[in-house]
Structure 1
Amino acid sequence: MELVVGASNTTMRSLLGKLGGLLAQEYALMSGVRGDVQYINDELASMQAFLRDLSTAPDRHDNRLKDWMKQIRDMGYDIEDCIDDFAHRIPRDPSSDFKCLFIRTRFYELRTWWPRRNIASKIAELKVRAQQIGKRRRRYGVDNPINLNNGPLVRAVTYEIAEHQLTGHQLIVTKEPVGVTADMKKLEDWLDLDKPVEMCDKERIVLSIAGFGGVGKTTIAMALYQNARDKFDCRASVTVSQNYDQGAVLRMILKQVKPHESDPNIEGRSHSELMEELKTYLAEKRYLLLIDDIWSAQTWENIRKCLPHNDKKGSRVIVTTRFQAVGSAACSRRAEINFLHSVDFLSDEESKKLFDQSVSESNNNIGSEKELPPEDVWKICRGLPLAIVTMAGIVASNPRKSIKDWKEACNSLFPELMPSLTLDGVTRILDYCYNDLPADLRTCSLYLSIFPKGSKISRKRFTRRLIAEGFVSEKQGLSDEEVAETYFNQLIKRKIIRPVEHSSNGKIKSFQVHDMVLEYIVSKSSEENFITVVGGHWLVPMPTNKIRRLSVQSSGSEHGNSTKHMNLSQVRSLTMFRSLDQLHFHSFNNGILQVLDLEGCKGLKEKHLNDMCRMLVLKYLSLRQTDISKIPSKIAKLEYLETLDLRETNVTELPKSAGQLKRIINIFGGNKSSRKGLKLPQEVLSCFASLHL
């Protein structure tokens, strides 16, 4: 199915709740408006049912249906903006206070006349718009989706407490990549891991690992890097990709090779200054660099020029690329000592081993006695590890599917004979995996496009943000935190994300998304206008309509002004990576911005903090790893704030006015490097009823 419906369905459900709340406010609406709101509420309820049918329809949809779907989504966003924008401008109605009720009611009506008149006008316009969308559907013959009760995507999805408790604790076991034992031995010999430093080749040597996307290049390279890192004076691992910022790459390398030499001015350095600093520092070091996913020979040449010309310490550089020509170019200068290694597809034996291992991991090594799917499932993957692991996740998540069902699924994926797996074939498999997800999990998977390629993502940061965005709610006896954890565990089980670190209690601490999976998710997210990515690793077309969630992933000279000509007045969620220099908060609508995540950003100043205190409906605020040292007393204005993250900052105390944050649930503080905690005044502590410390 080409149409993305998970995010839209979740948005519609949230919107219906807000409309119901608006109808429940007896005095909030002007005379005659209540009928319009009720009409919009009923119309959207029918549209939500339509969306649910779309999510279970196995047929592919035409452009007319996709465009109509887009109109529903955009109207839903505009209605939600309207409600949120006016909600904080209309104070609580006086119906709960019966003392002098008549006088209070009249005073309330006069005081709120203007905002209520505004919302009445907008609601009237939105009602007409809803009517036009319905008429347009009939005029252009948009058909209802065919819902087949025995379709492969139709199933009752339940998240039981037992499953939540079972999958909540998973130990991460580091395994050697399947099927590359001989390759690893050859490449480790190339790195001279077992030889003393004085016996190693004194020249810097480049290893190029080339192969089809998803074949395991990065897995092999990272295994080599981890095994060899302690043999070198310094090391760094960076991801480049199709769309990259060279200044950002150099800064990332410098921060890793000089981990104990913090430079507060590194963000403001020019490219030439960064290049000279890196050359000078590495000139007398034996270093190991991993440059992952280079897309062009010119990109490698630009990076090579930033490294010392003469290396007599025996340094090593590992390069991965999807293109043989690029791999050859990286090795061309010293072909007699440089090495080009091509990663091939797995054999049938290795493929089956990886498939069985992946299914077992997803099932937590339980249920091995169940009937296994036919060989067609892993054989259609043609030895591509990414495809094998992805299909294994689907198999583990569909234990009741029969062998006949799996054969039909394989035939529908690849009806033609295919000697090898192409990029189109990988996309088909990822499509099948995505369409197999329940609507809520589709939304969670789309939300992964917030984060840059190659980044280690905190599990708690991800789940708390899902809650703040309204994508998670209590169900079946589970709290919203437990439901978010369950969704996360489902993404792990389905191999959409993979764990990389765990805490001492056995729970996953951080995870990553495979490059090709993330590329697919970013594309889907862009298609639905769910998240707009600026300065990411891939060339994504800028949206022609309103931006709802914005992720700014680069701030170098090449991408710094990417938001300059964008309309940011409808942004509800903003995530910044690196510097704030090119972003102006006055471009945003303070009445609807709910999530602001500035973790690790540089350039945060007092004026930015004052701007944040005007974001009246903000629910999630992360200033972690920023340079701030004081929180203004105006933070008390953020009456909807639920999560405040101040870890690894210089903030040591909250102002007394923070006691007015009645909805706060999570406050995080303290700095490990300075060994200072966050002090909460006694009068503040006594005001927090539901605080999680």
Structure 2
Amino acid sequence: MAEIEVNFVIDRLVPLLQEEAQLLRGVRTEANSILAELQVLKPFLRNLDERDARGELDEGVKEWVKQVRQVSHQIEDVIDEYMLHWAECPQRRGFIGFFYKVGHLIRKLKPRHDIASEIQDIKGTICEINERGNSYGFSSIDLQGSTSIGKNIPWHDPRLASLFIEEAEVVGIESPRNELISWLLEGSPKRGVISVVGMGGIGKTTLAKIVYDNPIVIAHFNCHAWISVSQTYKKKEVLKIMIKTLDKEQTESASEDMDKMDVTSLIEKLRDYLEGKRYVVVFDDVWASQFWGFIKNALPDKADKGSRVVITTRNDAVADSCKESPFYHVHKLHPLPPEMAWDLFCKKAFKTDFGGFCPPELTTLSQNIVQRCEGLPLAIVTIGGVLSTKEKVTQQWQRFHNSLGSELGSNPRLTGIKRILSLSYFDLPYCLKLCYLYFGIFPEDFSISCARLIRLWIAEGLVQRNAGKTLEEVAEEYLTDLIDRSLVQVSQVDFDGKPRRCRVHDMMREIILLISKDLGFCDILSKDNPGFESSDGLELRRLSIHNSEDKVLKSIRGSKIRSVFSFKANELPEPFFGILFSNFKLLKTLDFENAPLHYLHEEVGNLFHLRYLSIRRTETKVLPKSIGRLQNLLTLDLKRSFVYELPVEINRLHNLRHLLIYYFKTIELGFGSTQGVKIHEGFGCLEALQKLYYVEANHGPWVFEGLRKLTQLRKLGITKLKREDGEALCTVIEKMDHLESLSVWSLRRNEILDLQRIASAPKYLRFLYLKGRLEKFPVWISRLKNLVRVRFRWSRLTEDPLPFLQALPRLSELGLYGAYDGELLHFKEGGFQKLKKLELHDYNAELNSVIIDNGALPFLQELVIEDAPQLKEVPSGIQHLSNLTSLGFYDITQELARKMQPNEGQDYGVVKHIPRVHINVAPSWSVIMSDDK
């Protein structure tokens, strides 16, 4: 697994050599030489990583790979140390500046000399490593074929067992089996493609094989073929196997002739054989999205034969590549539900001893183990099989549960899980490997904010630049790729369907932790692992604190960690932050979200390399002035901390991309409100900013002068806007061509938001939140074709806003909170064709009637009506909303509530088709809930 470290170091060295013209004499030459030597190593390392995962490397080669990893870390250290020493040189000009610079150079001469010497030593080490590699025959490795390295070690593909599982041994197979069989036998007479998609170990091969062997399926088709494709398929070999499998009458001489054919000739031979036949071919374990583009040429498409192709894959992109087929289906396999997972586990773990039933004394432990498997059949079956051989006593099972992670890495009977799941990891390009390992930093079952994850990836330098795209856009593509590969699960979607939070399967997290420890990528400090130790001599790069032990300081002393994360609820030792900031000068990432942090230490300004700083949801109230020295900072996240005012030194952070700065002000009885933050004049120099929210507008006209310069903003939130500021804000908004999210809040509830003067609004705007009084509806909003989410609060419009909004082609969420002073809201036929969520909060106004025409709101899923004292009837036409799954009435009158409640022997009338109905009657706060009526 040295490939990712070497690539990462190369990515660091190249820009350094291109951009740093003032490198010490001799260092540039040595660094270029190191770069050349690393480039020589690159072609072999990926090949070795894959073979190491299959257990094909002997100990000598493993030691060589370990040395490559160690020297990669040394290079990264010396690069960061050099940049730090160079940055500390004073930048003063003139005669006095000359003496400052000379004095500094004298003081730093030895450290710089030491760095130059270390670079020379590293060069010598790499040359030795390359020479030692030649002794293993690396120079003659056939990167696409076999090698002598570890050739005597047999490779047993653990996926092979999936082909020979009896249907009676499988649970939860009936529904997907029947669906696939119906797709095979019925539907279009044209050639059809069926893709079975899911993460490794979820049962794709097992399902496909059971369907393939079904007697009805066998009888329906003239010829059949099962082809295992795998990651490193060769076109010619796949075609030859297909011909031999389909044509049982192939002679030995015909096989010899095929060896002499090229790909085109083999395709023609295969087409000739299949012409006029109804065939079914299963391509199992396809990884490359280009595969279908190649193989479809060998499969004739007769309109009257109804031939079928089945593809199993872990990657959505592979399934999507087949969409051009006229008859096309995708079956997405999901983890087993808890009941089925438990049934399968008991079948395996207690088959011989207890007839498939769990004894009471092991029930809790067994359920915890099954929960760790998260419905993954491979893990359930394998772990159940291992436990079936163990004595059925609590102590043994408890030890197994506690050490499951290490068991995956060491227990020969569990290595199949590791190998199968690791295949997806090793198939990733190196940049995605690093990003994927990042999930191991977070606690088990942790649902991670996608925005937070992307900002962390960028701060760590894991995202490669791509011409024409921002780093954030490239990182979003990385995350989408990981999701498509079934490596990352989406746990929450945003209002427009984009992933909002994500996580990894617990079994994959265990694999990540094993790989991370080997690479020195990260270590977890927890009650089960209280020490912070290096792995194979590697300096661990990241520390994730998951517990409240007082051993943190002792653990991190002497290390060269780059990132620290805290997921603790209790206090860290008092001197922790001071020592951390003053002694670990190479830190790049500090994420203390939700940590027990009361203040930010002045020493934080010494962290020249720091690129990400989060004190979100902490009790910090003031930022130190030294924050201005963090010139490499990309993200400063103060969201929901108690920081009210930013120091003027913030204006020095010219590389800052994300400034998240609103806080939550408590009013009384635990209730509070979101408040913007005061920022000082001159912040317009932060021209790299993409996110700025929320800032206060009522400190002077210079606020808008600063905003006018921030033309790269994607997200802007501004509070305490006065009526006279409207024209200035409109001018600002017109210049923000990239703006996607805009929130504007007035100074007080009755303050007018004067936003009529926008002639050309940002065309990419997706989210709009206006909080304040509107004299009339801003017509420019109705021209925003990319708007997905709109919220109006306190608007008190005298004209109906619906005609302006109903034609927005992408609007999926609408919130009207005291937005309209009229008595009637009429959703007319054909309006709001994409809307999924609608919230109406009237705030004691005049609304007494809601009408929904047939054909309006066709895809509405959630409707909320709150605080509407004049509303006495259920919205007319609500029965037309066939996709409505949730209806909420909050703070409504007793009269309306009675009409909603079921009487004895009666149903809910016009809302009986809605699965979930929630009723809350003002002012008692009593709740009537109906689920699955």
TM-score, normalising length from structure 1?
0.58
Corresponding residue to 2:601 among 600, 604, 609: 609
1:544-693 to 2 correspondence within 5 Å? 544=535, 545-557=537-549, 560-561=550-551, 564-578=554-568, 579=570, 581-582=572-573, 583=576, 585-586=578-579, 589-602=583-596, 604-606=597-599, 608-672=600-664, 674=666, 675-692=673-690, 693=692
Q: Which has the larger radius of gyration?
A: 2
The structure-2 alpha-carbon separation of the partners of 1:505 and 1:83, relative to structure 1 and needing over 3 Å to count, comes to: same
C-alpha distance in structure 2 between counterparts of 1:381 and 1:648, whole Å: 49
Matched, 1:426 2:417: yes
Matched, 1:116 2:107: no
1:28-43 to 2 correspondence within 5 Å? 28-30=23-25, 32-43=26-37
C-alpha distance in structure 2 between counterparts of 1:645 and 1:393, whole Å: 46
Q: How far 1:561 sits from its partner (Å)?
A: 1.6
**Alpha carbons 1:6, 1:443 under 8 Å: kept:** no
**What's the counterpart of residue 173 of structure 2?**
348
- Per-residue CA shift, 1:245-291, capped at 9, x if unaligned? xxxxxxxxxxxxxxxxxxxxxxxxxxxxxxxxxxxxxxxxxxxxxxx
- Per-residue CA shift, 1:583-624, capped at 9, x if unaligned? 45525754311111111111x243x52232221210011111
Q: How far 1:379 sits from its partner (Å)?
A: 5.7
**Alpha carbons 2:522, 2:540 under 8 Å: kept:** yes
Q: Which amino acid aligns with 2:291?
A: R
Q: How far 1:573 sits from its partner (Å)?
A: 1.3
* SS state at 1:501 partner: strand
Q: How far 1:46 sits from its partner (Å)?
A: 1.9
**Alpha carbons 1:393, 1:495 under 8 Å: kept:** no
* SS state at 1:517 partner: helix
* SS state at 2:122 partner: helix
**Alpha carbons 1:546, 1:567 under 8 Å: kept:** no
Corresponding residue to 2:463 among 468, 472, 476: 472
**What's the counterpart of residue 698 of structure 2?**
none
Q: Which amino acid aligns with 2:504?
A: V
**What's the counterpart of residue 126 of structure 1?**
122
Q: How far 1:664 sits from its partner (Å)?
A: 0.9
Identity %: 26
* SS state at 2:645 partner: coil
Q: Which amino acid aligns with 2:457?
A: L
* SS state at 2:85 partner: coil
Moved more, 521-530 or 99-108: 99-108
Q: How far 1:541 sits from its partner (Å)?
A: 9.2
The structure-2 alpha-carbon separation of the partners of 1:17 and 1:370, relative to structure 1 and needing over 3 Å to count, comes to: farther
**What's the counterpart of residue 73 of structure 2?**
77
- Per-residue CA shift, 1:143-191, capped at 9, x if unaligned? 764311899xxxxxxxxxxxxxxxxxxxxxxxxxxxxxxxxxxxxxxxx
The structure-2 alpha-carbon separation of the partners of 1:514 and 1:28, relative to structure 1 and needing over 3 Å to count, comes to: same
1:9-24 to 2 correspondence within 5 Å? 9-21=6-18
**What's the counterpart of residue 520 of structure 2?**
529
**What's the counterpart of residue 293 of structure 1?**
none
Q: How far 1:88 sits from its partner (Å)?
A: 2.8
Q: How far 1:512 sits from its partner (Å)?
A: 1.8
- Per-residue CA shift, 1:349-399, capped at 9, x if unaligned? 345479999xxxxxxxxxx95454799994645799xxxxx9999758646
Gaps of 5+ in 1: 152-343, 358-367, 385-389, 411-417
Q: How far 1:436 sits from its partner (Å)?
A: 2.4
The structure-2 alpha-carbon separation of the partners of 1:551 and 1:46, relative to structure 1 and needing over 3 Å to count, comes to: same
C-alpha distance in structure 2 between counterparts of 1:592 and 1:354, whole Å: 56
C-alpha distance in structure 2 between counterparts of 1:354 and 1:540, whole Å: 51
C-alpha distance in structure 2 between counterparts of 1:51 and 1:622, whole Å: 36
Moved more, 424-433 or 582-591: 582-591
Moved more, 446-455 or 671-680: 671-680
The structure-2 alpha-carbon separation of the partners of 1:612 and 1:99, relative to structure 1 and needing over 3 Å to count, comes to: closer
**Alpha carbons 1:6, 1:440 under 8 Å: kept:** no
**Alpha carbons 1:659, 1:688 under 8 Å: kept:** yes
* SS state at 1:596 partner: strand
C-alpha distance in structure 2 between counterparts of 1:474 and 1:421, whole Å: 42
* SS state at 1:593 partner: coil
Q: How far 1:20 sits from its partner (Å)?
A: 1.6
Q: How far 1:669 sits from its partner (Å)?
A: 1.5
**Alpha carbons 2:663, 2:677 under 8 Å: kept:** no
The structure-2 alpha-carbon separation of the partners of 1:52 and 1:519, relative to structure 1 and needing over 3 Å to count, comes to: closer
Q: How far 1:12 sits from its partner (Å)?
A: 2.5
**What's the counterpart of residue 7 of structure 1?**
4
Structure with bigger RCO (C-alpha 8 Å, 6+ apart) = 1
* SS state at 1:455 partner: coil
* SS state at 1:691 partner: coil
**Alpha carbons 2:89, 2:105 under 8 Å: kept:** no
The structure-2 alpha-carbon separation of the partners of 1:98 and 1:615, relative to structure 1 and needing over 3 Å to count, comes to: closer
C-alpha distance in structure 2 between counterparts of 1:74 and 1:354, whole Å: 52
Q: Which amino acid aligns with 1:11?
A: F
Q: Which amino acid aligns with 1:400?
A: F
Gaps of 5+ in 2: 148-168, 183-190, 210-229, 232-282, 299-308, 315-378, 384-413, 667-672, 693-933
C-alpha distance in structure 2 between counterparts of 1:491 and 1:69, whole Å: 27
C-alpha distance in structure 1 between counterparts of 2:49 and 2:57, whole Å: 11
The structure-2 alpha-carbon separation of the partners of 1:529 and 1:143, relative to structure 1 and needing over 3 Å to count, comes to: farther
**Alpha carbons 1:533, 1:551 under 8 Å: kept:** yes
Q: How far 1:465 sits from its partner (Å)?
A: 0.7
Corresponding residue to 2:500 among 503, 509, 516: 509
**What's the counterpart of residue 459 of structure 1?**
450
Q: How far 1:508 sits from its partner (Å)?
A: 1.3
Q: Which amino acid aligns with 1:570?
A: K
C-alpha distance in structure 2 between counterparts of 1:575 and 1:457, whole Å: 13
TM-score, normalising length from structure 2?
0.44
Q: How far 1:477 sits from its partner (Å)?
A: 3.5
The structure with the largest strand share of the pair is 2
* SS state at 1:686 partner: helix
Q: How far 1:506 sits from its partner (Å)?
A: 2.3
* SS state at 2:514 partner: helix
**Alpha carbons 2:523, 2:532 under 8 Å: kept:** no
* SS state at 2:651 partner: helix
Q: How far 1:432 sits from its partner (Å)?
A: 2.2
**What's the counterpart of residue 66 of structure 1?**
62
